[in-house]
Amino acid sequence: MAFESSIDNKTNLNRFLTENTVLRYLTFSALYLAQGIPEGITFFAIPAWLAMNNKTPIEIASFVAVIGIPWSFKILIAPLMDRFTILSMGRKRPWVIFGQLGLILSFLAIGFVPDPLNNLKGLMIAGFFISFFGAFQDVATDGMAIDVIPEDQQARANGLMWGSKTIGTSLSLVISTALINTIGFSMAISSICIAVACIIFVPILFRERPGEKLLPWTKGDVSENSKKVQLESWKQIFKNLFKVMILPSSLLMGIGIFILGLMFGLIDTLLPIFTIQELDWTNTSYSQVYSSTTIVGGFFGMFIGGYLVDYFGTKKMTNLYLITLVIIIGALGLMPSLWGNGKVIFGFVLLYYLMYTFLCIGLFAACMKLCWNTVAATQFTLFMALSNMGRAYGSGLVGTFKETMSWEYVLLITALMPFIAIFLLRLMNFKKHRKKLTHFS
């Protein structure tokens, strides 16, 4: 009772996400930081460590592809969250807490995989569960963001969120690489898990709306707003989702974001293999370059990424980022004579991850514009699931491509993907799409 009374007294501090702009930005930035930490280790540090220990491109690509699979399950998770929740605690907050708890436990478990260098199957299984709970937390966080962030703040919020995730990924990569090389794999993972564990207090301490319960045993009730938008049947969810997803702009976005996912997966997986096994870098030098460049991308994404989208427009800025990616990836593929120049490779990685961060901010803002509020969480998650399906497939293609062609051709094929996305983006009509959504309502 004393604990409950203490919590209730603190509700006067406006600890509600719908009522406090600064709290919204801080909360979602922290939750995205929590996603970035395990991603930095599983998608970047471990593949670089495997490459450093002479694992083949096919083995490394297989590991990355397997841990990418759960991110494609997001479309199955989202309707579950839209249909069921502890509504008195908020529409998505209970799921955020559950996902974060699972992320902590699964992340800790990968540190206990015996002889991980010679036990890739065990490493894949543990990595799979990290991604599974990471996807769970991601879906719930995105759904909560769409619910509580006003439309005019979404681009700025996306900048902060994606920037935080990028910085979390970068820092976890460089720190985990240093720790793995000095104290060993298991101790390194266990040590970094502490940071992920601390972030669980963020969703525990802040409510979505006034009057809701903080925890299941504390005082509170269901918000009237939550009652109005909560869907009560599977038929209603999937009928509305189908209705909005067959609109032309939704279909074009789905295709485009899958193709860009292929590019993301290819680049993320080939970079550690390419730099370490082709250019003779160490996993430490790779992690330092990756971390420093992505921190720059995350920093600019946090502070100007959302602003650029707001000021110049989602479509115009996204188009600019895609054109830049075509140029830099294509140029690297056409100039193998410059690969031995460390400054050139550093410049490529820096420009790529800067454009990657800005592109993700623009894409997320565009996806949110296409979402219908009755099924916004499920629709947004479908877009993200398509991107992650592309990413997982792209990761798996690296080994296949490298077995049949040189790095030059792998890079040139990768450059085709943002080129195709440019034409798909030009066909989208956001204004016409929004008008159709008003008729649905």
Give per-residue pLDDT as tens, 95-141: 888 888 888 888 888 888 888 888 888 888 988 998 888 888 888 88
- DSSP helix/strand/coil, 16: strand
Classify residue 53: in a domain, yes or no: yes
Looking at residue 229, its pLDDT comes to 64
**Rounded Cα distance, 428 and 244, in Å:** 14
The answer for 209, left when phi > 0, alpha when psi is -120 to 50, beta otherwise, is beta
Looking at residue 4, its pLDDT comes to 42
Classify residue 204: in a domain, yes or no: yes
Rounded average pLDDT over 14-37? 83
Classify residue 135: in a domain, yes or no: yes
Q: What residue spans of 20-153 are helical by DSSP H?
A: 21-39, 46-52, 57-68, 74-83, 93-110, 120-148
Looking at residue 90, its pLDDT comes to 77
Classify residue 325: in a domain, yes or no: yes
- Say if CB 7 and CB 138 are below 8 A apart: no
Looking at residue 188, its pLDDT comes to 83
Domain holding 201, by residue range, is 2-216+230-440
**Rounded Cα distance, 421 and 362, in Å:** 13
Question: At residue 199, does pLDDT exceed 50?
Answer: yes
The tokens 């993907």 sit on which residue? 417
Query: Based on the structure, what is the number of domains in the chain?
Result: 1
Angle at CA 89, nearest 5°, toward 441 and 27? 85
Q: What residue spans of 301-406 are helical by DSSP H?
A: 306-312, 314-334, 342-370, 376-404
Q: Which band of pLDDT confidence, cut at 50, 70 and 90, is reported for residue 414?
A: very high
- Say if CB 44 and CB 287 are below 8 A apart: yes
- Say if CB 201 and CB 96 are below 8 A apart: no
- DSSP helix/strand/coil, 231: coil
Task: Quick: pLDDT tens for 324-369.
Answer: 999 999 999 999 888 888 889 999 999 998 898 899 888 988 888 8
Classify residue 224: in a domain, yes or no: no
Q: Which band of pLDDT confidence, cut at 50, 70 and 90, is reported for residue 5?
A: very low
Task: Calculate the alpha carbon distances from 231 to 209, 237, 238, 354, 376 in Å.
Answer: 18, 7, 11, 39, 11
Instruction: Give exposure, 304-331, as e/b (b: 16+ Cβ within 10 Å).
Output: ebbebbbeeebbebbbbbbebbbebbbe
Looking at residue 245, its pLDDT comes to 92
Classify residue 188: in a domain, yes or no: yes
Looking at residue 289, its pLDDT comes to 83
**Rounded Cα distance, 110 and 221, in Å:** 39
Classify residue 225: in a domain, yes or no: no
- DSSP helix/strand/coil, 157: helix
- Which CATH number belongs to the domain containing residue 273 in this structure? 1.20.1250.20
- 428 phi and psi, to 5 degrees? -80, 140
Residues in contact with 213: Cβ distance below 8 Å, sequence separation at least 6, in sequence order:
86, 88, 89, 207, 219, 220, 221
- For the chain, what is the mean pLDDT? 83
Q: Which band of pLDDT confidence, cut at 50, 70 and 90, is reported for residue 230?
A: low
Classify residue 352: in a domain, yes or no: yes
Rounded average pLDDT over 170-188? 83
